[in-house]
């Protein structure tokens, strides 16, 4: 796989047997991209679920993210090797810097250089960033080149459309991955989304995910329920009209759900 899959399975906040069951169910239903992170504390369980699934490694697209404690050049590669051991694989398909964490003492140049080294050593097939604003993405590009930044994984939902950042990324040819696409479930109760869902004979979740897919983003929704995992997948075949898309565009309210002190940048 040379490109980032449009649809993946997120594992944020899922622990222990919950994440094992979610990944097993997802793989049985046809998911082939799985997104985890060092800080999620579930890489070993994700690895166990993949091993139990019997799905071949070369059919999967695995993403993990380096946590801020491991950004220094002497820590990043060993931390990724530890992640690979937990995931029971020799490589991941994509490794991201999880948060820019400005002021934590490690420069963008240092951690992007270390990330590029991880790719050069074959520990990861692609590298990228997560939660970077325009200026920090520019700094990452300056270190490794824009063609090396496979994606910027950012919070995006009908309530937080991040247009300035998205326009910049797409102009640079950097793929956009949307997380929190359902805004912790808040958009599922939105009357505009609900009306579109009713008209399209779809669920509100399918509408929100289809909106992101039609905008060209990858999505990584998570669920502990098999029926929701199956239902979410159907968003890939839902086509929204220009009018639907315009109505969703009008829902923008800068509704950011995730903004941790010390980790997040100054948003555009």
Using the CB atoms, write b or e for 78-110: b if 16+ within 10 Å: ebbeebbebbebebbbbbbbbbbbbeeebebeb
Q: How many other CB atoms sit within 10 Å of the CB of residue 114?
A: 23
What percent of the chain is predicted at pLDDT more than 90?
Answer: 99
Give buried/exposed letters for 223-244 (b at 16+ CB in 10 A, else e): beeeebbbbbbebeebebeeeb
> Looking at the domain assignment, is residue 89 inside a domain?
yes
Q: How far is CA 75 from CA 1, 23, 71, 80, 106, in A?
A: 28, 28, 6, 9, 11
Burial of 126 (0-12, 13-18, 19+ CB in 10 A): buried
> Per-residue pLDDT for 2 more than 60?
no
Does the structure show a pLDDT above 80 at 75? Answer: yes
Query: Cα–chain-centroid distance for residue 34?
Result: 9
Helix residue ranges per DSSP H, the chain: 16-29, 43-53, 73-87, 108-120, 134-144, 163-172, 191-200, 204-214, 226-233, 242-249
Residue 175: the pLDDT is: 98
φ, ψ (nearest 5 deg) of residue 49: -65, -40
**Is 143 among the domain residues?**
yes
Q: How many domains does the chain have?
A: 1
* Residue 49 · residue 10 · CB < 8 Å: no
Give dist(CA 149, CA 166) in Å, integer. 14
Residue 68: its pLDDT value, please? 98
**Which of 103, 158, 151, 144 has its CA nearest to residue 130?**
151
Residue 255 belongs to a domain: no
Q: Is residue 160 part of a domain?
A: yes
Q: Quick check: helix, strand or coil at residue 94? A: strand
Does the annotation place 98 within a ligand binding site? Answer: yes
- The DSSP symbol for 261 reads T
CB count in 10 Å sphere of residue 177: 27
Percentage of the residues of the chain whose pLDDT score is greater than 70: 99
User: Mean pLDDT over all residues of the chain?
Assistant: 97
CB-count exposure of residue 74 (10 Å: 0-12, 13-18, 19+): exposed
**For residue range 184-215, what is the model confidence (pLDDT) as tens digits?**
999 999 999 999 999 999 999 999 999 999 99
262 domain residue, yes or no: no
Residue 97 three-state SS: strand
Look at residue 156 and tell me if it is in a domain: yes
pTM, two decimals, is 0.97
**CATH code assigned at 152:** 3.20.20.100
pLDDT for 1 equals 38
Give the pLDDT of residue 171: 97
Structure confidence at residue 99 (pLDDT)? 98
Full domain range(s) for residue 215: 9-183+211-234
pLDDT of residue 103: 86
Q: Is 129 helix (H, G, I), strand (E, B) or coil?
A: strand
**The two three-digit tokens of residue 119, written as one number:** 């790719």
For the question of residue 40 being annotated catalytic, the response is: yes
CA 149 vs. chain centroid, Å, equals 14
Model confidence pLDDT, tens digit, residues 216-263? 999 999 999 999 999 999 999 999 999 999 999 999 999 999 999 999
**Quick one: average pLDDT of 134-141?**
98
4 is a domain residue: no
Out of 31, 40, 179, 217, the active site residue is: 40
**Residue 117 falls inside a structural domain:** yes
């Amino acid at each position: 796989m040379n490109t980032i899959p449009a649809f993946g399975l997120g594992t944020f906040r899922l622990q222990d047997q919950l994440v094992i069951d979610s990944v097993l169910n997802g793989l049985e239903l046809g998911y082939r991209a799985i997104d985890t992170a060092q800080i999620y504390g579930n890489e070993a369980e994700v690895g166990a679920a993949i091993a139990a699934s019997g799905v071949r490694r070369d059919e999967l697209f695995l993403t993990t993210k380096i946590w801020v404690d491991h950004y220094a050049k002497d820590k990043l590669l060993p931390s990724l090797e530890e992640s690979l051991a937990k995931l029971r694989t020799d490589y991941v398909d994509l490794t991201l810097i999880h948060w820019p964490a400005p002021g934590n003492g490690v420069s963008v140049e240092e951690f992007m250089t270390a990330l590029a080294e991880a790719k050069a050593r074959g520990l990861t097939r692609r590298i990228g960033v997560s939660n970077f604003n325009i200026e920090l993405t520019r700094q990452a590009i300056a270190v490794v080149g824009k063609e090396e930044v496979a994606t910027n994984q950012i919070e995006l939902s009908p309530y937080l459309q991040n247009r300035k950042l998205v326009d910049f990324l797409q102009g640079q040819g950097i793929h956009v991955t949307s997380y929190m696409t359902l805004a912790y479930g808040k958009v599922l109760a939105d009357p505009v989304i609900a009306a579109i869902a009713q008209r399209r004979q779809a669920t509100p979740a399918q509408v929100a995910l289809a909106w992101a897919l039609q905008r060209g983003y990858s999505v990584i929704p998570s669920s502990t329920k098999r029926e929701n995992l199956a239902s979410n997948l159907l968003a890939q075949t839902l086509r929204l009209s220009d009018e639907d898309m315009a109505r969703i565009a009008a829902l923008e309210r800068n509704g950011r759900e995730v903004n941790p002190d010390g980790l997040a940048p100054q948003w555009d």
